[in-house]
Structure 1
Amino acid sequence: MTYQLPLIEPDVLIIGGGPAGLTAAAELADRRAGHILCVDREHAAGGIPRHSDHTGYGLRDLHRVMSGPVYARHLVDRATRAKAEIRTNTMVTGWSDEHTLDVTSPDGRYQIRPRAIVLATGARERPRTARRIPGDRPHGVYTTGQLQNLVHLHHQPVGKRAVIVGGELVSWSAALTLRQAGCTPALMISQYPKAESYGAFNAAGRTVLRVPVATRSRVTKVIGKGRCQAVEIEHLDTGKRRTVACDTVVFTGDWIPDHELVRAAGIALDESTLGPLTDTALRTSRPGVFAVGNMLHPVDTADVAALDGKHVAQQVINHLHGQQPPTAGVRLTVGSPFRWVAPQILRPDDPAPARGRLLLWPDEFVRFPKVTVRQDGRVITRRTLAWPAAPGRVFRIPSTVLDGISHTGGPVHISL
Structure 2
Amino acid sequence: MNEHVRVAVVGGGPAGLTAAAALAGRVDGPVLVLEREAAAGGIPRHSEHSGYGLRDRHRVLSGPSYARRLAAAATAAGAVVETEAMVTGWAGERALEVTSPRGRRTVTADAIVLATGARERPRPARWIPGDRPAGVYTTGQLQQLVHVHHRPVGRRAVVVGAELVSWSAVLTLRAAGCRTVLLTTELDRPEPRLPIRPVRTRTRVAAIHGTGRVSTVELEDLRTGRRREVACDTVVLTGDWVPDHELARSAGLTLDPATLGPRVDAGLRTSRPGVFAAGNLLHPVDTADVAALDGRHVATAVRQWLADGAVPADPGLAVVADPPLLWVTPQLIHPGGPPPPRGRLLLWTAERRSLPLVTAVQDGRVVGSARLPWPAAPGRMFRVPYSVIRAADPAGGPVHLRL
TM-score class normalised by the smaller sequence? over 0.9
2:86 aligned residue (87, 91, 94)? 91
1:196 aligned residue (191, 197, 200)? 191
Q: Aligned residue for 2:299?
A: 313
Q: Aligned residue for 2:393?
A: 406
AA partner of residue 165 (structure 1): V
AA partner of residue 380 (structure 1): V
1:225 aligns with 2:211: yes
Q: How many residue pairs get matched?
A: 402
Q: Aligned residue for 1:248?
A: 234
Q: Aligned residue for 1:386?
A: 373
Is the contact between residue 278 and residue 294 of structure 2 (CA under 8 Å) also seen in structure 1?
A: yes
How far, CA to CA, are the matches of 1:139 and 1:88 in structure 2? 30
Q: Matched residue of 2:59: which SS?
A: coil
Q: Matched residue of 2:24: which SS?
A: helix
AA partner of residue 297 (structure 1): H
Is the contact between residue 326 and residue 347 of structure 1 (CA under 8 Å) also seen in structure 2?
A: no
How far, CA to CA, are the matches of 1:378 and 1:314 in structure 2? 33
1:48 aligns with 2:43: yes
Please state how far the C-alpha of 1:253 moved relative to its aligned partner.
0.4
Q: Aligned residue for 1:3?
A: none
AA partner of residue 246 (structure 1): C
1:334 aligns with 2:321: yes
Please state how far the C-alpha of 1:33 moved relative to its aligned partner.
4.6
Structure 1 residues without counterparts, runs of 5 or longer: 1-5
Q: Matched residue of 2:52: which SS?
A: coil
Q: Aligned residue for 1:152?
A: 147
Q: Matched residue of 2:55: which SS?
A: helix
After superposition, residues 155-234 of structure 1 pair within 5 angstroms as 155-197=150-192, 199=193, 202=194, 205-206=195-196, 211-234=197-220
1:259 aligned residue (245, 250, 253)? 245
Please state how far the C-alpha of 1:325 moved relative to its aligned partner.
1.8
AA partner of residue 227 (structure 1): R
Deviations 1:61-103 (A, max 9, x none): 0110000000000000111111100000000000112121111
Q: Matched residue of 1:360: which SS?
A: strand
How far, CA to CA, are the matches of 1:252 and 1:185 in structure 2? 13
1:277 aligned residue (257, 260, 263)? 263
How far, CA to CA, are the matches of 1:32 and 1:335 in structure 2? 40
How far, CA to CA, are the matches of 1:32 and 1:38 in structure 2? 15
How far, CA to CA, are the matches of 1:360 and 1:42 in structure 2? 30
1:127 aligns with 2:113: no
Is the contact between residue 33 and residue 317 of structure 1 (CA under 8 Å) also seen in structure 2?
A: no
1:351 aligns with 2:338: yes
Q: Aligned residue for 1:106?
A: 101
Please state how far the C-alpha of 1:196 moved relative to its aligned partner.
2.0
Q: CA RMSD in A?
A: 0.8
Please state how far the C-alpha of 1:34 moved relative to its aligned partner.
2.5
Q: Aligned residue for 2:351?
A: 364
Please state how far the C-alpha of 1:349 moved relative to its aligned partner.
4.0
Is the contact between residue 281 and residue 350 of structure 1 (CA under 8 Å) also seen in structure 2?
A: no
Is the contact between residue 189 and residue 217 of structure 1 (CA under 8 Å) also seen in structure 2?
A: yes
Is the contact between residue 161 and residue 248 of structure 1 (CA under 8 Å) also seen in structure 2?
A: yes
Deviations 1:302-356 (A, max 9, x none): 0000000000111100000013322321000011211000000011443100000
Please state how far the C-alpha of 1:212 moved relative to its aligned partner.
1.4
Q: Matched residue of 2:291: which SS?
A: helix
Is the contact between residue 326 and residue 348 of structure 1 (CA under 8 Å) also seen in structure 2?
A: no
AA partner of residue 119 (structure 1): L
TM-score (norm 2): 0.99
